[in-house]
Amino acid sequence: MRKTEQFQVSYSELAAPRAVRGWGFLYEWLDSLVYAFLTILLVFTFAFRVVGVSGESMVPTLQNGDWLAVRAVNMTVERGDIVVITQPNELHEPIIKRVIALGGDTVDIDFTSGTVTVNGEVLSEPYIAEPTHRQFDLTFPLTVPQGFVFAMGDNRNNSLDSRSSTIGFVDERYILGVAEFRLFPVGEWGLEPNA
């Protein structure tokens, strides 16, 4: 009988540390998961914003339904950047466009040839769907006021943008952020055209 009691004591002593180790592992795993979630939450709340693409105005670069990570801090807007604009307009929703010109730049568009000129230089635009033939109500050339940008969609003939007084020049204060990478669809991270 003594050996059985001794065996039971030994078995229970061995079993208890395993249970503690099991809960300890689970606690550490959950702790790591919570910290990872909080880190992602903070990054995407303060440093980045997640924005969905709605519409065809940025085809072939962005497709309807794509999701973007948009840098909202330490933001310097440059020509060629894809930006999210929250400037009030008749659309009543944020829009995603490419910055073509900055404050002080002069923009001219030849709607016959479809070329866009900034400060006398014809832009090389490998990202556009087709040449710029669609004209709206603004007359070119135009000089962009300081503190504003001129932005257009990559799908030039299917985009309401700075060529129209509906959007016009975009006040830099209404630029929510600069697109950094694509979150969805998974695997298509870059911002190059998908044509």
Count of other CB atoms within 10 angstroms of residue 98:
25
Q: Does the annotation count 57 as an active-site position?
A: yes
The enclosing H or E element of 49 equals strand 48-52
Query: Which residue among the candidates 3, 12, 32, 97 is catalytic per the annotation?
Result: 97
Residues in the chain: 195
Beta-carbon contacts of 180 under 8 Å, excluding residues fewer than 6 positions away, are: 48, 68, 69, 70, 71
Pull the structure tokens for residue 1.
């009988």
Q: Tokens 């795993």 belong to which residue?
A: 29
Beta-carbon contacts of 69 under 8 Å, excluding residues fewer than 6 positions away, are: 44, 48, 49, 50, 179, 180, 181, 182, 183
Query: Which residue among the candidates 12, 54, 57, 164 is catalytic per the annotation?
Result: 57
Q: Does the annotation count 97 as an active-site position?
A: yes
Give the active site residues. 57, 97
